[in-house]
Amino acid sequence: MRPEPFGALLYHFGTRRLSFLKNQTVLAVVRSLADHPSARAACAAAGVPDAELPAYARALAALADSKMITERTLA
């Protein structure tokens, strides 16, 4: 993950896919996913308004589809 003025770029070496985080808020959400019990909690902590939750849900689903983020495995 590489910070950029507009958000961040992500690259997955396995899938060779590049993804973009188009603003600072979604970057904050992605960064803090591991620290929250759920994606919704991470969005709330980053101050995402309820009305925008669906858009964030789609963005995170797209990241998951491209394997940029994965479900955590319980150790």
* Cα-based distances in Å from 51 to 17, 43, 54: 29, 12, 7
Binding of other proteins at residue 42 (CB under 8 A)?
Answer: no
CA 8 to chain centre: 10
Q: From CA 39, how far away is CA 73, in angstroms rounded? A: 15
58 interacts with other proteins by CB under 8 A: yes
**How many binding residues for other proteins (CB under 8 A)?**
36
Question: Cβ of residue 34: shortest distance to other proteins, in angstroms?
Answer: 17
Q: Which of 28, 33, 44, 59 binds other proteins (CB under 8 A)?
A: 59
Binding site for other proteins (CB under 8 A): 2-9, 11, 13-23, 25-27, 48, 52, 55-56, 58-63, 65-66, 68
